[in-house]
Amino acid sequence: MLVLKFGGTSVGKPERMKKIADLVLATPGQKVVVLSALSGTTNALVAIGDHLMAGSQNLAEKEIATLEKHYDSFIKGLYSSEAFLAIGQETVSRFFIFMRLLATGQFDVKSYRELLAQGELISTELFYQHLQEQKVNSRLLPALHFMSIDENEEPELEKIEQRLKPLLASLKNVDVIITQGYICRNHRNEIDNLKRGGSDYTASLIGAAIRAEEIQIWTDIDGMHNNDPRIVKKTFPISELTFDEASELAYFGAKILHPSTIVPAQKYNVPVRLKNTMDEKAEGTIISNKGIEGTFKAVAAKDNITVINIKSSRMLMAYGFLRRVFEVFEQHKTPIDMISTSEVAVSLTIDGIDNLDSIITELKKFGTIEVEKNQTIICVVGHNIGKQKGILEKVFHALASVPVRMVSCGGSNNNISIVIEPAFKERALISLNENLFGIR
């Protein structure tokens, strides 16, 4: 069985939605199709939810009306027969009646999440009706019947697997099984989600749960690139990546994948293929457990990083010091990304700064604290590059004219991370492109 996920832009226009239907039908075998909301919808729902949270009913209603118009014209382009257009209209008006119901009731975080879920619920229903019109043997399988997260907002892969088994067994003779990306139930059984961009994660969780042959993520670019195409003129798609390389890249910069996507796929060794809906002939990127050792695969940059430096003479030859430092971050539910230490100081980076002030107050008990906000991590990725000689020399040669604030390597053999000032990012990425990939 294959799992195919299509993102917002792949379903964002009626022609595109029809095209992915053709694409799905041209793929042999039974498939689970995971869809995002139409492009722009989740952003619109966030805006509506924010207005409602702020008590601005009128602004929310305006946004709802604009969104409704969008769907009214969308279905006109999607269905060819009067009968199906009528079904589409019924669906759209049902959804918007419900959204207005949510909007007029007491609006809290729970209703907000329920509102956010409407994007995927409507896109999958419209797509299902399109397949019905094309007389495709398909079914809609509600993600809210099997996708769940625990109290730490972690997906419950085993439970998902247990629920999916009987559900899929009852759909043995169905060619195309459609489900929603992004949405799930939380430990209170309420409607929740896997965070923005979470449809990729849904696809990977399903793929892992059913031990799919392959998980295909269809987007609007031709795979992961060796460098950031927004900054460096000449980049190329990488044809093969290992799970580890892809995880590092998904987190550091490459916006193409939800950062957690690789984890479930890697656990059960299900290959993830990134493909381009706009150019289906393009090879894309295949992510698996196979890799070529010792070659540079990609560089990526992540902005808005905060560096925290803790200097303490108490660290000298002490044990347990780092544990106490890390506990502060644990208590504040703040992940640490990079770390580098000397005998009397430790530097680390964090991405989320919601709890920065209280973290610093706590850390001051240990020594002198310096904080630098708005820094950039440059990350060089390659399978087992850490085991090769001359690798660091090449990287530092490329960065000869860039002041380096912090370096971390050896944590994994697949990654060298360097913190720099954002002003040097462009220079660093271009120079690494020239020096590591020979592209000028």
Query: Would the CA dihedral through 3, 7, 249, 433 be positive or negative?
Result: positive
Give which of Mg ion, ligand ASP, none residue 49 binds (C-beta under 5 to 8 Å, depending on kind): none
Q: Which is nearer to ligand ASP, 41 or 226 (CB)?
A: 41
Give which of Mg ion, ligand ASP, none residue 196 binds (C-beta under 5 to 8 Å, depending on kind): ligand ASP
**Part of the chain binding ligand ASP (CB under 6 A), chosen from 192-200, 267-275, 294-302, 359-367:** 192-200
What is the helix (H) or strand (E) element at residue 205, kind and residue range?
A: helix 199-209
Site for ligand ASP in 199-218 (CB under 6 A): 199
Site for Mg ion in 5-34 (CB under 5 A): 7
- Minimum separation from the CB atom of position 201 to ligand ASP (A): 8
- Minimum separation from the CB atom of position 7 to Mg ion (A): 5
Instruction: Give 396-410 as a DSSP string.
Output: HHHTTTS---EEEES
Please provide residue 90's backbone torsions phi and psi, each rounded to the nearest 5 degrees. -60, -45
In this structure, how many other beta carbons lie within 10 angstroms of the beta carbon of residue 407? 17
- CA–CA distance, 439 with 63 (Å, rounded to integer): 46
Q: Which is nearer to ligand ASP, 119 or 271 (CB)?
A: 119
- Minimum separation from the CB atom of position 197 to Mg ion (A): 4
- Minimum separation from the CB atom of position 185 to ligand ASP (A): 16
What is the helix (H) or strand (E) element at residue 240, kind and residue range?
A: strand 240-242
Q: Is 42 in the site for ligand ASP (CB under 6 A)?
A: yes
Q: Is 36 in the site for ligand ASP (CB under 6 A)?
A: yes
Please provide residue 38's backbone torsions phi and psi, each rounded to the nearest 5 degrees. -60, 145
- Minimum separation from the CB atom of position 198 to ligand ASP (A): 5
- CA–CA distance, 226 with 256 (Å, rounded to integer): 12
Q: Are 68 and 92 in contact (CB under 8 A)?
A: yes
What angle is formed at CA 146 by the lines to CA 143 and CA 148, rounded to 5 degrees? Answer: 95
Q: Is 259 in the site for Mg ion (CB under 5 A)?
A: no
How does DSSP classify residue 225?
Answer: B
Count of residues engaged in binding ligand ASP, rule: CB under 6 A: 12
Residues binding ligand ASP (CB under 6 A) = 7-8, 36-37, 42, 119, 181-182, 196-199
Residues binding Mg ion (CB under 5 A) = 7, 197
